[in-house]
Amino acid sequence: MLTLNAVNTFYGKSHVLFDVSLEVRRGEIVALLGRNGVGKSTTLATIMGLAPAASGSIRFQDKEISANRPHRNARLGLGFVPEERWIFPNLTVHQNLLMGIKPGHLRKTPKGGWSIERAYESFPQLAERRNQLGGILSGGEKQMLTIVRTLLGNPELILIDEPTEGLAPIIVEHVNTLIADINRQGLTVLLVEQNLQACLRLAHRIYILSKGEIRWNGTPAELQERKDVRRQYLEV
Series of mean pLDDT values for 10-residue runs along the chain (236 residues): 98 96 97 95 97 96 96 94 89 94 69 86 90 92 91 94 85 88 93 91 97 97 96 88
In this prediction, residue 112 carries a pLDDT of: 72
**Residue 4: DSSP 8-state:** E
Alpha carbon 120 to its chain centroid, in Å, reads 21
Closest CA to 214 of 10, 36, 38: 38
In this prediction, residue 104 carries a pLDDT of: 64
The CATH classification of domain 2-233, taken from the options 1.10.10.60, 3.40.50.300, 3.30.465.10, 3.30.200.20: 3.40.50.300
**Which region holds residue 228: left if phi is over 0, alpha if psi is between -120 and 50, else beta?**
alpha
In this prediction, residue 151 carries a pLDDT of: 93
Pairing outcome for strands 2-11 and 213-218:
unpaired
**Contacts of 195 by beta carbon, 8 Å cutoff, 6+ apart:** 164, 172
Which residues on adjacent β-strands are paired with residue 210?
213
Q: Could you tell me the pTM of the whole model? A: 0.92
In this prediction, residue 101 carries a pLDDT of: 87
Q: Please state, in angstroms and rounded to a whole number, the distance separating the CA atoms of residues 79 and 154.
A: 8
Pairing outcome for strands 14-24 and 63-64:
unpaired
Residue 162 and residue 81 in contact, taking contact as beta carbons nearer than 8 Å: no
Over the chain, what is the mean pLDDT?
92
The secondary structure element, H or E, covering residue 150 is: helix 139-151
Pairing outcome for strands 29-33 and 205-210:
parallel
Secondary structure of residue 3 in the 3-state scheme? strand
In this prediction, residue 105 carries a pLDDT of: 62
In this prediction, residue 85 carries a pLDDT of: 82
In this prediction, residue 86 carries a pLDDT of: 86
Q: How far is CA 201 from CA 98, 165, 205, in A?
A: 32, 17, 11
In this prediction, residue 109 carries a pLDDT of: 67
Closest CA to 178 of 127, 115, 125: 125
**What's the pLDDT tens digit per position in 138-177?**
888 898 899 999 999 999 999 999 988 888 888 888 889 9
**What's the pLDDT tens digit per position in 9-25?**
999 999 999 999 999 99
Secondary structure of residue 85 in the 3-state scheme? coil
